[in-house]
Structure 1
Amino acid sequence: MHEDLKSEYLEVEDPFILWENLKDRFDHQKLVYLPATENDWANLRFQDFKSVRAYSSALFKISSRLIMCGEKVTEKRKIDKTLSTFHPNNINLAEMYRERKFTKFGNLLSTLIVAEQNHELGIEVNGAKGGTMDEVGATGIFVHITTLVTGSGNLNHRVKEMHHEEEKLKMFAIGAA
């Protein structure tokens, strides 16, 4: 508790009275923060972030404020928010993710992070070979993402496969340099 609050309520000995006093003082915070937080949620778009981690950080920050204001933020709501705010050029990819029927936002997030890492690795490999992403890697990255999204088996198995592929690409990049 802040020192000013401690000194202000130092004389209150009954915990119930202290709770009521603090509630009276701070309960209006919900009214103050909720409209701004709802606006932040409405304007949160996956396409506006440079990385999956930056997006997820913003989403969790806004979600926490919504929950603090008494709003319910379900796994489905977070998943729908993410998939509905992909860039229009990636609408097919968003639909492929939607077809996976994720029930946990964390699973979708893990999938997006692995796909992003593989995309970045493809760019590195193409740079080492002197090619461009369009010339060499776009198809390969799309295949990696498609495999991750539509592949059979569980997520952990596919993540392990992706890491194995990543290691092979690194070895190829070293040999091409």
Structure 2
Amino acid sequence: MRRFLAAKGLDATITQGNEAISKAKAKAIIFLRHHLDGSMKIEYLTVKDSLELWTDLNGRYNHPKATVLPRARYEWIHLRFQDFKTVIEFNYVIFRITSQMKLCGETIKDEDMLENTLTTFHASNVILQQQYREKGFQKYFELIAYLLAPKQHNALLMKNHKARPILAAPLSKVNVVEARDQFEVKRDDHRGYNNV
């Protein structure tokens, strides 16, 4: 929220000892109230100073370490690659968790992300896990790019296949005549069986 106020040039209105003009303070109050829940708008209706409103809201809600961090830690501990259907789903969740932990002051390193990913492969993929370890990935994104490559190749193959399925290539003129002759021979053979 502070960044939004800064983008609007109103961040000075929520600093201690500010000399902001009343017009800027009014804009900040309107902006802050606009983002409040209906019942909270009524609760803070009488507050006229943007710094006072900001301080009250921070005291009430700015506890990410107490609320977000325990859940993020729990999710990190229980995050397993094998629990996801796709690499993209796993990647989304791992970045959501690490972003929440970073918000709370805890940083997850690339080595930790690599280790978490590789150690939580399904037991049937132990050899695959060892092969990925031997590649010596230093960055998490390198591993994810490597894991996503087969999916992208398969998607391209399927797209090409759907564009023209196997044996759907147009026949050359020589083959068309030969194919027509073979069809007529087979048709004549089948007619003979029906007459017997």
Q: TM-score, normalised by structure 1?
A: 0.59
Q: Percent identity?
A: 33
Residue 166 of structure 2 aligns to a residue in which SS? Answer: helix
Give matches, 1:25-44, under 5 Å: 25-44=60-79
C-alpha separation in 1, matches of 2:106 and 2:98: 9
Residue equivalent to 1:130: none
Are 1:90 and 2:125 an aligned pair? Answer: yes
Are 1:23 and 2:14 an aligned pair? Answer: no
Residue equivalent to 2:115: 80
Deviations 1:130-156 (A, max 9, x none): xxxxxxxxxxxxxxxxxxxxxxxxxxx
C-alpha separation in 2, matches of 1:74 and 1:176: 51
Determine if contact 1:46/1:85 at 8 Å carries over to the other structure.
yes
Report the Cα offset of residue 53 of structure 1. 0.8
Are 1:51 and 2:42 an aligned pair? Answer: no
C-alpha RMSD of the superposition = 2.9
User: 1:21 and 1:51, CA in 2 relative to 1: closer, same or farther beyond 3 A?
Assistant: same
Residue 174 of structure 1 aligns to a residue in which SS? Answer: coil
Name the amino acid aligned to 2:145: S
C-alpha separation in 2, matches of 1:7 and 1:103: 53
User: 1:33 and 1:87, CA in 2 relative to 1: closer, same or farther beyond 3 A?
Assistant: same
Name the amino acid aligned to 2:68: Y
RCO comparison, higher one (Cα < 8 Å, 6+)? 1
Are 1:64 and 2:55 an aligned pair? Answer: no
Where is the helix percentage greater, Structure 1 or Structure 2?
Answer: 1
Q: Which runs of 5+ in 1 are unaligned?
A: 122-162
Are 1:100 and 2:91 an aligned pair? Answer: no
C-alpha separation in 2, matches of 1:35 and 1:176: 58
Are 1:109 and 2:144 an aligned pair? Answer: yes
Residue 50 of structure 1 aligns to a residue in which SS? Answer: coil
Name the amino acid aligned to 2:36: H
Residue equivalent to 1:13: 49
Report the Cα offset of residue 90 of structure 1. 1.2
User: 1:92 and 1:6, CA in 2 relative to 1: closer, same or farther beyond 3 A?
Assistant: same
Query: More deviation in 85-94 or 27-36?
Result: 27-36
